[in-house]
Amino acid sequence: MDPLIQSPPLQQPLATGISHVNIPVESLPSRNTTNEKRYMVLLAINYMSLFVGSLASSLLAKFYFIHNGSSRWVSTLIQSVGFPILILPILIPYFFNLTSRKPFKKFTIKLFIFSILIGLLTGLSNFLISWGTSYLPVSTSSLLLSTQMVFTLISTSLIVKQKITFNNLNCVILLTISSVLLAVISNHDRPAGITKGMYFVGYFCTIGAGLLFALYLPLLEKIYREVYCYAMVMEMQLVVQMAATVFAVIGMASGGGFREMSRESESVFDLGPRMYWLTITANVISWQLCFLGTAGMVFLTTSFTGGVCSTALLAMNVLGGVIVYGDHFGGVKAVSTVLCMWGFCSYVYGLFMDRKKDKEKVGDCEKIVLLTTSSGS
């Protein structure tokens, strides 16, 4: 099995005892160091993908609606229709002999069905996000999505038995307070032309999308227990995005969305057809980066950690909305952003300390193995 695509080290619990240790001692330091470096590189690549995709997709989705784009089904479609992009990283390693594993090897019917169901769930979530984005400022919708951490903590504890600790509970409380503050200032944060009714439709659609995302994460983690390498994560993501695209295409076809898309590009979008299709294309690419980064983070860490990382980037989306679109950024929203970042930083610090303790345990085990081996010889 290729080291770069094998199951990550954090997916398996660390040993707490040494009664059945049977490891070639001379290979321990170099193998662990090499795998750790490869794991960290892959983790960094996925987080950068999530970072760029989250920020760009948030700003570009709002850009579409600001310049007279009005179809929520079009906005839903572009979140998943870029799935062919994933074919390249799936096929290239095999055809250039970078891996001996054939694409979709051990990709079972059961995994295929699960991927389709996750894709339909994703399609519904994408539709709700489109409604929320069309009515709310970028900064508000981004911070509202942080409420998914409450639901993520509950769903992960039920579905994947995530332990509720002070560290993750503190993070959830801070992110929840951050979102509640936004509800307090809602009457002063409505864009021009948006009624109070529209604002609250956007508000609750965004909350609904957060709920579905909170269900999506632990379901992914549970399914990934049957996935043994990162290549399978990309393959599963391809099927997920295909199913979400089918959901959006059916919605567009039933609502005349394709005719509306043609009309928008020719006469409605105020920057002209060329800029319309550039906006659509950039949106398509950014959403694929975002979804692949999220899936990778769940595979390489846990669903809860993936949710925390996604939520923390929402603070960057808030700042992006303020800088690019001039969203209102008063004192309450500033406090909300600080709380969001505080929750994330405290959680990351807790992870760092836990990882440090785990390394110390592994080091102690290796020392005892060395002592046992030397005394036996």
According to DSSP, the residues that pair with 6 across neighbouring strands are 229
Per the domain annotation, does 258 fall within a domain? yes
Cα-trace Rg, the chain: 23
Per the domain annotation, does 7 fall within a domain? no
* Residues with Cβ within 8 Å of residue 333, at least 6 apart in sequence: 139, 143, 181, 182, 185, 189, 318
Residues 122 and 295: their CA atoms lie apart, in Å, by 12
Burial letters 239-255, b for 16+ CB under 10 A, else e: bbbbbbbebbbebbeee
Q: What is the pLDDT of residue 312?
A: 73
**Contact between 123 and 248 (Cβ < 8 Å):** yes
Element (H, E) at 375: helix 331-376
**Domain range holding 46?**
28-369
Q: What is the pLDDT of residue 358?
A: 67
Per the domain annotation, does 19 fall within a domain? no
Half-sphere exposure of 142 toward its Cβ, with a 13 Å CA cutoff? 30
Residues 279 and 12: their CA atoms lie apart, in Å, by 42
Per the domain annotation, does 129 fall within a domain? yes
Per the domain annotation, does 9 fall within a domain? no
Residues 294 and 225: their CA atoms lie apart, in Å, by 16
**Contact between 86 and 289 (Cβ < 8 Å):** no
Please count the helices (runs of H) and the strands (runs of E) in the chain.
13, 0
Tell me how long the chain is.
377
Note the Cα 177 to chain centre separation in Å.
22
Per the domain annotation, does 203 fall within a domain? yes
According to DSSP, the residues that pair with 229 across neighbouring strands are 6
Residues 126 and 116: their CA atoms lie apart, in Å, by 15
Q: How many domains does the chain have?
A: 1
pLDDT, tens only, 173-211: 887 777 667 656 655 556 666 777 888 888 888 888 888
Q: Across the 377 residues of the chain, what is the mean pLDDT of every consecutive 10-residue run?
A: 47 37 40 72 91 89 83 87 92 86 90 94 91 76 72 85 81 76 59 75 87 90 88 93 94 82 86 91 93 91 84 73 76 78 79 72 60 58
Q: What is the pLDDT of residue 242?
A: 96
Q: What is the pLDDT of residue 263?
A: 86
Residues 305 and 344: their CA atoms lie apart, in Å, by 10
Q: What is the pLDDT of residue 84?
A: 93
Q: What is the pLDDT of residue 143?
A: 67
- The helix/strand/coil state of 16 is coil
Per the domain annotation, does 243 fall within a domain? yes
Per the domain annotation, does 14 fall within a domain? no
- Closest CA relative to residue 301, chosen from 76, 42, 29: 42
